[in-house]
Structure 1
Amino acid sequence: MKKYNVVIVGGGSTWTPGLLSSLSKKKNEFPLNKLVLFDINAERQAVIGEFAKIFFKENYPDLQFEYTTDKEVAYKDVDFVFCQMRTGGYKMRELDEKIPLKYGCVGQETCGAGGFAYGLRSIRDMIEMVNDVRASSKDAWIINYTNPAAIVAEALNRVFPNDKKILNICDQPVNLLRSYGRLLNMDPYEFEPVYFGLNHFGWFTHLYDKNGIDLVPVIKEMVYKNGFKPVDAEQRDQSWLDTYAMVEKMLIDYPEYLPNTYLQYYYYPEYKVSKQDPNFTRANEVMANREKRVFEECRRVVEAGTAAATNVVHNDAHGDMIVEVAESIAHNRNRQYIVIVENNGLISNIQDDAMVEVAALLGANGPRPMGVGKIDTFYKGMIEQQLAYEKLAVDAYFEKSYNKALKALTLNRTIVDGKKARKILDELIEANKGYWPELN
């Protein structure tokens, strides 16, 4: 069996140890020759990299492993690029969340004005990354799960419309499928989902078991009766438990389909603002909890010289999904995943050039997406408003247009007020100097 060369972009991420664990668990199904961690933050990555040396020595001794800040080393002769960059780090994420809250609007990493700010920061680095990879490894698969995936996917599709080896994907649908499995005490790998929407903005219309029985009605009744928790609830911070608990509320108000958890910010923006602490947002929670736990555990492993008793992995679904996606492509498995692709009639009554999120069979030639046909007025209206925001946000970046940026934020359901949009935009421009193009 062929062995593959993989690079993880964003090697200093707190999600990296979970991905390393998944690569180790899948070493027979997706064997590696070489793995490289690449990050521009040498100090941060070194903590993860030194942990990885010990982890692989014990769990994957024949693997060639290194970590680097040199992109020429990182991208040379690779088969797969796993991209999880965070331009600006947690310092900028904190501003993304806190600036909108000052004006009574949702402060969230990928939704609303925070997602807009993060998206405009991500575009430049993502384009540079693709160009750098293609200069060294023209046939490598780039599996991107950098947020906000909707804006990133739209931008990359404009710049690289003919590059069929860029795959944008998100782990939240997988997290939801695993959580349905926990609720039903069933194997989520046996589920056959029908899903439509945009990234962080979609719905499961059906969820079939291996006998073809639709489980959505059963899941609804169980959520109404017992509530809803993530599959890894015991490892999650409180904000994530609150997020999953909101699924019950969303199903009471909009009972047709099972919602992506991020829809809470668009359905109930005022309520979500009322529950957020403007002085201690999700970014602060991550830095105080997951960030601290992961780096402390990595340092402990390095000091001990063994990873035998480590408990550093957070959220198996994230790492497992990325490795399983690569395996499905590498071995032409044609397994089913929920991915981001150009619409082209998949949702037949919205525009063809939308970057939509749907179920697809994934093999050596990329995704073969499954259409859902027409959607009804409410969901069509929701999607078209969000889609217009996303396209205007990307327009604003490429055209350096203040007006397009203002229109984007005015349309976003977490704001929907031009005066607030202008105030937030002006403060975000100041905060993102050096990251955004200068808007005129």
Structure 2
Amino acid sequence: MKLTVVGGGSTYTPELIDGFARLRDTLPIEELVLVDPALERLDLVGGLARRIFARQGHPGRITVTDDLDAGVADADAVLLQLRVGGQAAREQDETWPLECGCVGQETTGAGGLAKALRTVPVVLDIAERVRRTNPNAWIIDFTNPVGIVTRALLQAGHKAVGLCNVAIGFQRKFAALLDVPATDIHLDHVGLNHLTWETGVRLGGPEGKDVLPELLAHHGEAIAADLRLPPALLDRLGVVPSYYLRYFYAHDEVVRELATKPSRAAEVAEMERELLKMYGDPELDEKPELLAKRGGAYYSEAAVDLAAALLTGTGSPYQVVNTYNHGTLPFLPDDAVIEVQAAVGHSGPTPLPVAPVDPLYAGLTAAVTTYEDLALEAALRGGRDRVFRALLSHPLIGQYEYADALTDRLIAHNREHLAWA
């Protein structure tokens, strides 16, 4: 089995490598190829990756290359984890929206749209080259904004599934609070990527007992603290929202916070510099503790589970993925990309039935789906008016003066990445 990671020079990659090494019985990789145009970073990450495999006795071969076509040739699956523009572009995404009093964040709001506009054309080019070289390869997208990018891939006819670590993070958190194995936790997880709610927490599988009321009753304060939301709000909702919902439920509070502290991008950039120094140490043969602060917790376990299900039919029978709606949420178009539990096998994901969604969550989901439609149109076709329409439709913006000002800033800060600008 051959897997290729595009964006293999990311500082995330050792997290992925550690999972591949530990879970080699679930996903028996013979060859792993790391592809990245940044050869200096790639050599550092590749060296550590080989040492991690050696330490854990993994027999697989790891190679590195900046040649995408060679790297994806004969791959069974291609995992995408790239960041167009790097941390410098992320810094801008998190900064200029604040000038208009709007949330500055890399996956939602105006910053999220900027990332989508930079990313979608690049990902589609990569996917076309994968299809030319190896039309049977699965594409697993971890590149944000996952929902929009996955929809672009599916719309273009690629064998693609989107993946996020939010659900597996909740699964592990809830398992620890209940003192049960993580595999015993099945989430009723519904919504869009980075816009989801846990409406049930079941023991043993989709038909298991729902222990969410018990969780909220006994651990509501701890869960709310992780989300940085009031426990009383969770009590009133009766569900657990993703921490990304804080941008919607406490927008003005978040804007005030972001305006008075260094950006997350600046923090991550400093971590990356330190991590790359560590990766260059020939004695280091495991992922360093600092990597846990970088983000992406449990990303490797989720990726291994999904790849194993797609390629070998093993792994967890149900997984939270991003895929076509196909009637799962009746208030959305069939071709919307949703994030829900699905049965995953060789033929791809099939969403499980979802109980009727409370209008409070269905309404916001429908509104953000409309934004994602317009965002994808802007990413594919370009043009100032399309950018403006996408921004005006976003629930975090929604005022024409803001949308106009944000459109000008978005284009000014991203001109080098926008072929039409």
Is the TM value for this pair above 0.5? yes
In the superposition, the TM-score normalised over structure 1's length comes to 0.89
Answer yes or no: is 1:130 the counterpart of 2:127: yes
Whole-Å separation in 2 of the counterparts to 1:278 and 1:120: 28
* SS of equivalent to 1:339: strand
Q: For residue 162 of structure 2, what is the amino acid of its counterpart?
A: N
Q: 2:70 aligns with which of 73, 87, 90?
A: 73
Q: Specify whether residues 370 and 247 from structure 1 end up closer, same or farther in structure 2 by C-alpha distance, changes over 3 A only.
A: farther
| Seq. identity, % | 29
Q: Please state how far the C-alpha of 1:52 moved relative to its aligned partner.
A: 1.8
Q: Deviations over 1:61-91 (max 9, x none)?
A: 5322111101122111111111101111000
User: What residue in structure 2 maps to residue 14 of structure 1?
Assistant: 11
The farther-off stretch of 370-379 and 86-95 is 370-379
Q: Please state how far the C-alpha of 1:227 moved relative to its aligned partner.
A: 4.3
User: What residue in structure 2 maps to residue 235 of structure 1?
Assistant: none
Q: Please state how far the C-alpha of 1:278 moved relative to its aligned partner.
A: 5.8
Answer yes or no: is 1:282 the counterpart of 2:261: no
Q: Please state how far the C-alpha of 1:107 moved relative to its aligned partner.
A: 0.5
* SS of equivalent to 1:371: coil
Structure 1 gap ranges (5+) = 230-240
Q: How large is the Cα RMSD of the aligned pairs?
A: 2.0
User: What residue in structure 2 maps to residue 232 of structure 1?
Assistant: none
Q: Specify whether residues 137 and 396 from structure 1 end up closer, same or farther in structure 2 by C-alpha distance, changes over 3 A only.
A: same
Q: Specify whether residues 247 and 294 from structure 1 end up closer, same or farther in structure 2 by C-alpha distance, changes over 3 A only.
A: farther
The farther-off stretch of 399-408 and 137-146 is 399-408
Q: Please state how far the C-alpha of 1:353 moved relative to its aligned partner.
A: 2.1
Q: Please state how far the C-alpha of 1:249 moved relative to its aligned partner.
A: 5.9
User: What residue in structure 1 maps to residue 192 of structure 2?
Assistant: 198
User: What residue in structure 2 maps to residue 262 of structure 1?
Assistant: 244
Q: Please state how far the C-alpha of 1:104 moved relative to its aligned partner.
A: 1.1
Q: Deviations over 1:296-328 (max 9, x none)?
A: 32122x2x3x52695465355111110111112
Give 1:207-218 correspondences, 5 Å limit: 207-210=201-204, 212-218=208-214
User: What residue in structure 1 maps to residue 174 of structure 2?
Assistant: 180
Answer yes or no: is 1:294 the counterpart of 2:278: no
Q: Is residue 221–residue 231 contact of structure 2 (8 Å, CA) maintained in 1? A: no
Q: Deviations over 1:314-369 (max 9, x none)?
A: 35511111011111222213611111121121012222221111110111111121
Q: Please state how far the C-alpha of 1:111 moved relative to its aligned partner.
A: 0.9
User: What residue in structure 2 maps to residue 23 of structure 1?
Assistant: 20
Q: Please state how far the C-alpha of 1:413 moved relative to its aligned partner.
A: 2.0
Q: Is residue 119–residue 147 contact of structure 1 (8 Å, CA) maintained in 2? A: yes
Structure 2 gap ranges (5+) = none
Q: Deviations over 1:345-401 (max 9, x none)?
A: 101222222111111011111112112153232222111111111111111222323
Q: For residue 309 of structure 2, what is the amino acid of its counterpart?
A: S
Whole-Å separation in 2 of the counterparts to 1:295 and 1:248: 39
Q: Please state how far the C-alpha of 1:420 moved relative to its aligned partner.
A: 1.2
User: What residue in structure 2 maps to residue 118 of structure 1?
Assistant: 115
Q: Specify whether residues 415 and 136 from structure 1 end up closer, same or farther in structure 2 by C-alpha distance, changes over 3 A only.
A: same
Answer yes or no: is 1:57 the counterpart of 2:51: no
How many aligned residue pairs are there? 415
User: What residue in structure 2 maps to residue 245 of structure 1?
Assistant: 228
User: What residue in structure 1 maps to residue 306 of structure 2?
Assistant: 325
Whole-Å separation in 1 of the counterparts to 2:267 and 2:134: 38
* SS of equivalent to 1:433: helix
User: What residue in structure 1 maps to residue 382 of structure 2?
Assistant: 400
Answer yes or no: is 1:374 the counterpart of 2:371: no
Q: Please state how far the C-alpha of 1:120 moved relative to its aligned partner.
A: 0.8
In the superposition, the TM-score normalised over structure 2's length comes to 0.93
* SS of equivalent to 2:180: coil
Give 1:42-53 correspondences, 5 Å limit: 42-53=39-50
Q: For residue 71 of structure 1, what is the amino acid of its counterpart?
A: L
Answer yes or no: is 1:154 the counterpart of 2:148: no
Q: For residue 188 of structure 1, what is the amino acid of its counterpart?
A: A
Q: Please state how far the C-alpha of 1:432 moved relative to its aligned partner.
A: 0.8
Q: For residue 217 of structure 1, what is the amino acid of its counterpart?
A: P
Q: Specify whether residues 74 and 215 from structure 1 end up closer, same or farther in structure 2 by C-alpha distance, changes over 3 A only.
A: same
Q: Please state how far the C-alpha of 1:169 moved relative to its aligned partner.
A: 1.5
Whole-Å separation in 2 of the counterparts to 1:412 and 1:209: 36
Give 1:360-371 correspondences, 5 Å limit: 360-371=342-353
Q: For residue 66 of structure 1, what is the amino acid of its counterpart?
A: T
Q: Specify whether residues 124 and 312 from structure 1 end up closer, same or farther in structure 2 by C-alpha distance, changes over 3 A only.
A: same
User: What residue in structure 2 maps to residue 307 of structure 1?
Assistant: 285
Q: Please state how far the C-alpha of 1:173 moved relative to its aligned partner.
A: 1.1
Whole-Å separation in 1 of the counterparts to 2:373 and 2:233: 26
* SS of equivalent to 2:374: helix
Q: Specify whether residues 107 and 310 from structure 1 end up closer, same or farther in structure 2 by C-alpha distance, changes over 3 A only.
A: closer
